[in-house]
Amino acid sequence: MNRDELWATVIGQPEAVGLLRDAASAPVHAYMFVGPPGTGRMEAARAFAGALFAGDTDGPGGTGADRHRRLAVEGLHPDLVLVQPEGRALLVAETAAITREGSRSPVEAERKVIVVDRFETAEPEAAAGLLKTIEEPPASTVFVLLAEEVPEEHVTVASRCVRVDFPPLTDEVVAQALVADSVDEDLADALAVAASGRLDRARLLAEDPAFMGRRYAWRSVPDRLDGTGAAVAVVVAEIQEMIDGSQAPLASRHKIELEDLDEREKALGTRGSGRRQLVERQRREVRRLRDDELRFGLATLSRRYLDWATACDPSAGSAAGLEATERITGATAELTRNPNEPLLLQALFLDLPVIR
């Protein structure tokens, strides 16, 4: 894998790639990649690690650069350490382990790269514990912290890092990537809109033959409401069933991951196999998928009411359509509080106008 192939693994983030390519020749001790999941943060962290591992081995007499890059991109390089919080937050015990790992010398390359995922979840004490390590790291260690955002309590740690932003991908970039994966162009366009700038979600939806059916079901909600609780109950039950079914592609991936882990444990034993971390990650992914599905559905519903409002004259319901989009926006904001899904949808649908 050459340099261009290495950085081509990071899709749709030219500014971040340009910064990191330049930084690879003289890296600082810590970086923070900030942006939503699915925007290339992890791919960029691995590519950056590959560039650091390869170093000057492309020069005269150099060997092993291709191998360093390939192993880093695959997440298999012995000097690339990926830290995933085991639970909902990064704990003090985990940052202590990061500090110990950072003090160890590289195995094959001239540097060690430690990537800490979901740093925004770090407990205040955990962030404080990692601060000293980042301020005074071993010369051979580079830290890369991945975060969706920088909470106020983590600003001090962030100030010790070079920040690299990863904004949501454009719909065009996501669609082009899907077409390159052999997805039909029209479907790719619809998937890109539904994915809200996240290529990982778009690719997962591309594996789901029921996606277009769910999209239609959300758009048709206003046509099925009649102002009664009975109609709302039926629609909500059907939507809940569809969201449950949307987990099928992810469940298939999880099944393969667990089967692969079973094989590794048979060959190498269970100690240090990472089963607990894998199971917890899979649980997080299921929770995230349900949240993504609700956000996608509510956004689809909002667009339907916006289309209605645009098509109507003031006397025919345009104001009602705009008010409906505001109510849907409010319901979407409630998702951050982990509400009861059926109750949230029932309350919203009872408050939405009927379209006839």
Write the DSSP string, 73-99: HTT--TTEEEE--SSSS--HHHHHHHH
Together in a domain, 157 and 223: no
Q: What are the CA-CA distances from residue 199 to residues 19, 77, 178 (Å)?
A: 21, 24, 8
Residue 346 counted as domain residue: yes
Tally Cβ neighbours within 10 Å of residue 330. Answer: 11
Residue 355 has a pLDDT of 85
Together in a domain, 137 and 232: no
Digit-coded pLDDT (tens) for 29-45: 999 999 998 999 999 99
Residue 266 has a pLDDT of 87
- What is the rounded distance in angstroms from the CA atom of residue 160 to the CA atom of residue 32? 9
Q: How many domains are there within the chain?
A: 2
Residue 275 counted as domain residue: yes
Residue 199 counted as domain residue: no
Residue ending a domain, choose from 165, 181, 215 = 165
Q: Which domain holds residue 108?
A: 3-165
- What is the rounded distance in angstroms from the CA atom of residue 322 to the CA atom of residue 336? 23
| Contacts of 15 by beta carbon, 8 Å cutoff, 6+ apart | 165
Residue 51 in this model has a pLDDT that exceeds 60? yes
Together in a domain, 107 and 20: yes
Residue 60 has a pLDDT of 46
Residue ending a domain, choose from 135, 165, 195 = 165
- What is the rounded distance in angstroms from the CA atom of residue 119 to the CA atom of residue 139? 22
Q: What is the mean pLDDT of residues 312-341?
A: 84
Confidence band, pLDDT 50/70/90 cuts, at residue 321: confident
Helix-helix angle 41-54:65-73, to 10 degrees: 160
Q: What is the mean pLDDT of residues 243-264?
A: 91
Residue 327 counted as domain residue: yes
Residue 178 in this model has a pLDDT that exceeds 70? yes
Confidence band, pLDDT 50/70/90 cuts, at residue 62: very low
Residue 94 in this model has a pLDDT that exceeds 50? yes
Together in a domain, 246 and 149: no
Question: Terminus-to-terminus CA distance in the chain, angstroms?
Answer: 58
Q: What is the mean pLDDT of residues 5-26?
A: 96
